[in-house]
Structure 1
Amino acid sequence: MSDSPSILVPLRVLEGESIPEGVPDLLTNAHVVLLGYHVVPDQTATDQARNQFEDQAIRRLDDYTAMLEHAGATVESQLVFTHDGQTTIDRMTDEHDCLAVLIPNATRPLKNVLVPVRGIVGIDRFVRLISGLFGTMDVNITLYHVAEEDETDADVETLLNGVASRLSDEGIPSDLIDTEISREGSPRSRIVDTSGDYDAIVMGESDPSVTTFLFGMTADQVGKQFLGPVFVIQHGEANGAEEADHE
């Protein structure tokens, strides 16, 4: 089985976001980078906000850290006051070499995970994340691909079977891995339509981006149909921003 994958869990810690039910058990095998962040208005200095709210935010992060550690995860927490929440998420993902960002919606007991696969880009990270998180769990993994017009079934089967083989090599029992091909609709719409049968999703950042999930309309649209946790595997570089950190 792979080493514990590093997962960034961002929470707007002063706006009522918390660790939802079921998420600690989902992260039992993870190394969690727990990011508590607060977006400060442009006209307000981050140091001013930190001086006013730091103690309250730290207490909440400490509670969430204890909750995750009780479930078995290792945790390092960061508190950031920033003018740009997405830049903070990107930077922390890069600095801590996180495989994925978790959108931590509540989850029922985990039985089925949907893994949309677009191509070979990022497959190493998919394999590391899935095997590291779920290798010791009795969880069904469905590798899902929405085929383009110029893709043959044989091409897609080769892709998905190759990923399945790599997961098996990393400790996922082959009888817990399924493959599914769709040829109807756009990848985004098919993922949304299919997701209702699953307890969690693992997807690449372009399907859609973390920015869209956390701050855009697609988050609202997906949330109406899929309320479970989403692991968004990262590939991009982070950008700098003015921030005040507390470790």
Structure 2
Amino acid sequence: MIENPTLLVPVDVSAQEDPSLDLIEVLRPLRVVVLGYYPVPDQTAPQQIRDEYEQEAKDDLETIVQQFAGSDADVQSVLVFTRDSAQSIDRVANEYDCDSVLVSGVTGEIARVLVSLKDEQNMFRVLGVVESLMASNDLEVTLYHAESIEKGSAKSELYLRGATDWLTERGLDREAISWEEPTAETQESALLDLAESHDLVVTGEYEPDIRERVVGTVPDRIHDRTGRPVVVVRKERSV
């Protein structure tokens, strides 16, 4: 289980893509590390880009940091100039012991959260992040068992019921929690359909490398189809 979860928020400061204020407000219970990255084109020296754009990038990053600070979030910031944003995200996530990474998206008021649970190894880490969000926000949560097994099977029901009990035992509202079970044939389409009817998605990573999760299939497909923000909870790293 994660105590005091830390979220990495990558932002392309060259494009001024700020997270929405509604998203910032919901994420305020988490400790936040804002990673401002400035892409460096091939055949261009990073120092040349830094010399030209560093102050502008710092100003844009500070604006985002102040938005988080204004919502009483515990926030730090990092600025990098990089040819490989995914590699920088991976490195900073490790350096700052980030438990999760935000794949940002466009959203209005956040009231419904879809939680994709796949394996027991990472389940309690995902639920730890969900607990922090629910404890400080008025949210409805849908738990989704992202595994290809027969719908209605005892294994799937026990898994989802156990996750629900874990959250309610920590004082969260049972009436605010529901669950969905896919079939092997509808697993991916059901996840995407549910994502469209929710405002935020929380999922565990499927691969050990955070780079695979940030640019990987699940966040990309959710974002490409729905534009929803996704919080990807990392697996526990060995010390």
TM-score scaled to structure 1, two decimals? 0.84
Q: What do the CA deviations read for 1:143-172 (whole angstroms, capped 9, x no partner)?
A: 112453467611111111111122223332
CA-CA distance at 1:18 after TM superposition: 1.6
* Aligned twin of 1:35: 35
Contact 1:200–1:228 (CA<8 Å) still a contact in 2? Answer: yes
Identity of aligned residues (%): 29
Contact 1:212 1:219 in 2 (8 A): no
- For 1:228 and 1:155, the matched residues in 2 are separated by 29
Q: Name the count of aligned residue pairs.
A: 236
1:23 counterpart = 2:23: yes
Aligned to 1:95: 95
State the partner residue of 1:197: 197
State the distance in 2 between where 1:142 and 1:103 align.
Answer: 19
- Structure 2 unmatched ranges of 5 or more: none
Checking the alignment, whether the CA contact within 8 Å between 2:101 and 2:214 is kept in structure 1 is no
Q: Which residue number in structure 1 is paired with residue 178 of structure 2?
A: 178
> Do the aligned residues in 2 keep the contact of 1:142 with 1:179 (CA within 8 Å)?
yes
Q: Deviations over 1:77-130 (max 9, x none)?
A: 100112211111111111111121111213222221111111212112112111
Identify which of structures 1 and 2 has the higher relative contact order when contacts are C-alpha pairs closer than 8 Å and 6+ apart.
1
TM-score normalised over the length of structure 2: 0.87
The aligned runs of 1:1-247 (5 Å cut-off) are 3-149=3-149, 153-183=153-183, 185-206=185-206, 211=211, 215=215, 221-235=221-235
Distance 1:147-1:50 versus aligned 2 partners, 3 A rule: closer
Judge conservation of contact 1:184–1:190 (CA < 8 Å) in 2: no
Between the aligned partners of 1:210 and 1:169, the Cα distance in structure 2 is 30
Q: What do residues 21-40 of structure 1 show as CA deviations (whole Å, max 9, x unaligned)? A: 42211212121100000221
Letter paired with 1:70: G
The worse-fitting range, judged by mean Cα deviation, of 14-23 and 56-65 is 14-23
Can you give the 5+ residue segments of structure 1 that lack an aligned partner in the other structure?
238-247
The Cα shift of 1:20 comes to 2.4
Amino acid across the alignment from 1:44: T
